Amino acid sequence: MANRPSPDKPIVKVHNLSFSRGSRKIFDGIDLEIQRGKITAIMGPSGTGKTTLLKLIGGQLMPDHGSIHVDGQNVHRLKSQELFNLRKRMGMLFQSGALLTDMDVFDNVAFPLREHTRLPESMIRTLVLMKLHAVGLRGARKLMPNELSGGMARRVALARAIALDPMMIMYDEPFTGQDPISMGALVHLIKSLNTALGLTSVIVSHDVQETAAIADYIYVLAEGKIVGHGTPQQLADSDSQWVQQFMNGNADGPVPFHYPAPDYLDDLLAS
Amino acid sequence: MFEFLENLGKTTRSSFAKLGRSTFFLGHTLMGIGDVLPRPSLLTKQLYSVGVLSFLIITISGLFVGMVLGLQGFYTLSDFGAEESLGVMVAASLVRELGPVVSALLFAGRAGSALTAEIGLMKATEQLSGMEMMAVDPIKRIITPRFLAGFISTPLLATLFSAIGVVGGHMVGVGLLGVDDGAFWAQMQSSIDFQEDIINGVIKSIVFGFVVSWIALFEGYDTIPTAEGVSRATTRTVVNSAFSVLGLDFILTALMFGDI
């Protein structure tokens, strides 16, 4: 790859992105950059389209306006074969794990290797065991997905996401619904994998404490716009009301506690 | 009034949109055949779950349908003193009509609904989406093998259904009601035409297998990924398959046997 962009250029560059679902505007002209080798978090209240952003970066959805470049390529201009080639270098960890339920753990991790490579079975076995060992589940290789706890399923999915040694992994809400121990394990894994494998990680999350602990840079989304960005320290010191409400978990603020509704008294008296 | 027109327009538009989506879906599925054939293990697994596991329901239903045909046929034919023709009657009804139609309906209920629910739940649990992100085309990897399996198994199941049905008719007619064994088989042999009856019956079941597999897989793929969406899609699979099979059966029969 002769025209590979230099390592200090951002790996993902989102420019003036707009996207709507039906009449609801989800993104309204957002710009963001994800630096190579770093852990970047995209945070915001639920329903702000964080998962949608990952699907846009992965080329599963088309934006209304704006562009997304991944590793120098405009994702939405690629032909489907080129997009597939790009996706082989991106891993994505779905919130549910998205494991294939008709295969055991071993076959799930082997799935991308068998689909995309012609490696002999003995080498696939070695690779799969290495990936499973990295997430601490080498002993669980015979289990079926329905026998796994939520945290284990996510770790298997993580092993599968790193099976092809991608350049970047996108995590969709990795901490949601985890007990403190699995949460700790995941936080540690994301951080150590990022360093050990020289990955770039993108975390979409609303778990402020865990994410802030490992992220190098954070973007805060609200109402289709980026309301704040910076290192965790900078955000903690930010004087933006949006950022303060989100980082401190206040019930009311720029994001109102009440869903838009007619006046309370009028509503009660109307019948 | 306006509301009625508006709803009519909306329904028409969404039906056409769905028809368009399903056609693209079918095209995409067929394009995957080239990728599936070099990997026969993908196909054999589906042939087992779609075809082999439908054996029991097809065998038992075929046996009973044949037995009932034997009974009813005997009572009607004996009024005319023509009970020796029982073999022809049983075989012709099975091979031409009941074999392909009933086995396609059973197939839609047994395997079609299962396919819809499976694909629908795979969509709901993000397995299809996850595959796309692993640069694997879910239509080629998941849908095409299932489609081929359905398409291959239905004619085989229909043939099995007819064969077992004839055995059932023989059991009742010859074993129970005393029709002459030789006449039963001889009349059947001389009257059932290979081209006219058997091949046409097989063509019917090939068409039904194509349509039922297409409907079942498309409904699963197009489902709204919620519990309610999957349940509705499964219902639609069975209902639409039944309509299509019966409607197509009329058209095919008219083309093959009629002078319309």
Count the Cβ atoms, other than its own, within 10 Å of residue B27: 10
Averaged pLDDT for residues A68-77:
87
Averaged pLDDT for residues A83-109:
88
Find the angle CA(B139)-CA(B142)-CA(B143) to the nearest 5 degrees. 60
To test the contact with chain B by mutation, choose from A52, A54, A96, A109 the residue with the greatest count of B C-beta atoms within 10 A, namely: A96
User: Bigger pLDDT: B148 or A24?
Assistant: B148
- Please tell me which of A48-52, A78-82, B201-205 the model is most confident about, judged by mean pLDDT: B201-205
Q: How high is the pLDDT of residue B202?
A: 93
Q: How high is the pLDDT of residue A271?
A: 67
Is A96 in contact with B136 (Cβ distance < 8 A)? no
Q: At what angle do helices A150-161 and A121-134 cross, to 10 degrees?
A: 130
3-state secondary structure of B18: helix
Is A115 in contact with B126 (Cβ distance < 8 A)? no
Q: How high is the pLDDT of residue B259?
A: 61
Averaged pLDDT for residues B182-188:
91
Residue A241 has pLDDT above 90, yes or no: no
Averaged pLDDT for residues A223-246:
81
Q: How high is the pLDDT of residue A1?
A: 39
Residues of B in contact with A176 (CB under 8 A): none
A92 part of contact set with chain B, CB < 8 Å: yes
To test the contact with chain A by mutation, choose from B119, B134, B136, B146 the residue with the greatest count of A C-beta atoms within 10 A, namely: B134
The CA distance from A22 to B106, in Å, is: 40
Structure tokens given for B124: 């709901």
Averaged pLDDT for residues A13-28:
86
Closest chain A C-alpha to B98 CA, distance in angstroms: 35
Give the pairing type, strands A168-172 and A200-205. Answer: parallel
B49, B116, B204, B216, B248 from B251: Cα distances, Å? 31, 26, 10, 21, 5
**pLDDT (tens digit, 9 = 90+) per residue, B17-68?**
999 999 999 999 999 898 888 888 889 999 999 999 999 999 999 999 999 9
pLDDT band, residue B220 (cuts 50/70/90): very high
> Could you give the percent of chain B with pLDDT greater than 90?
70
Averaged pLDDT for residues B133-138:
89
The CA distance from A79 to A99, in Å, is: 27
Averaged pLDDT for residues B121-147:
90
- Sort A84 into a burial class: Cβ within 10 Å, 0-12 / 13-18 / 19+: middle
A101, B129, B238 from B223: Cα distances, Å? 19, 14, 14
Count the Cβ atoms, other than its own, within 10 Å of residue A68: 21
Averaged pLDDT for residues B215-226:
93
Residue B260 has pLDDT above 70, yes or no: no
CB A227 within 8 A of CB A32: no
pLDDT band, residue B133 (cuts 50/70/90): confident
Q: How high is the pLDDT of residue A2?
A: 41
Q: How high is the pLDDT of residue A6?
A: 53
Chain B residues at the A interface, defined by Cβ less than 8 Å, are: 122, 125-127, 129-137, 141
Is B125 in contact with A98 (Cβ distance < 8 A)? yes
The CA distance from A99 to A103, in Å, is: 8
Q: What does the mean pLDDT of chain B come to?
A: 91
The CA distance from A62 to A18, in Å, is: 10
Residue A48 has pLDDT above 90, yes or no: no
pLDDT band, residue A3 (cuts 50/70/90): very low
The CA distance from A246 to A42, in Å, is: 12
Closest chain A C-alpha to B136 CA, distance in angstroms: 7
Which residue in chain B has the smallest CA separation from A81? B135
Residue B148 has pLDDT above 90, yes or no: yes
Residues of B in contact with A112 (CB under 8 A): 134-136
**pLDDT (tens digit, 9 = 90+) per residue, B61-117?**
999 999 999 999 999 998 988 888 899 999 999 999 999 999 999 999 999 999 999
The CA distance from A269 to B219, in Å, is: 46
Question: Among A14-18, A181-185, B43-47, whose mean pLDDT is lowest?
Answer: A181-185
CB B166 within 8 A of CB B184: no
Give the pairing type, strands A65-70 and A12-21. Answer: antiparallel
**pLDDT (tens digit, 9 = 90+) per residue, A185-215?**
888 888 888 888 888 999 998 888 888 888 8
The CA distance from B105 to B99, in Å, is: 10
Q: What does the mean pLDDT of chain A come to?
A: 85
Run of H or E residues at A225 = strand A225-230
Measured over the CA atoms of residue B129, residue B134, residue B135 and residue B137, the dihedral's sign is negative
Which residue in chain B has the smallest CA separation from A85? B135
Longest dimension (CA), chain A: 73
Structure tokens given for B35: 């990728």
Closest chain A C-alpha to B207 CA, distance in angstroms: 30
Count chain A–chain B contacts defined by CB atoms under 8 A. Answer: 51
Q: How high is the pLDDT of residue A181?
A: 84
Averaged pLDDT for residues A45-56:
83
In chain A, % helix, strand, coil (3-state, to 5) comes to 40, 25, 40
Domain limits, chain B: 42-246
Structure tokens given for A106: 């071993």
A205: left (phi over 0), alpha (psi -120 to 50) or beta: beta
CA atoms within 13 A on the CB side of A242: 14
Is A98 in contact with B129 (Cβ distance < 8 A)? yes
Q: How high is the pLDDT of residue A174?
A: 85
Residues of B in contact with A100 (CB under 8 A): 127, 131
To test the contact with chain A by mutation, choose from B133, B136, B137, B146 the residue with the greatest count of A C-beta atoms within 10 A, namely: B133
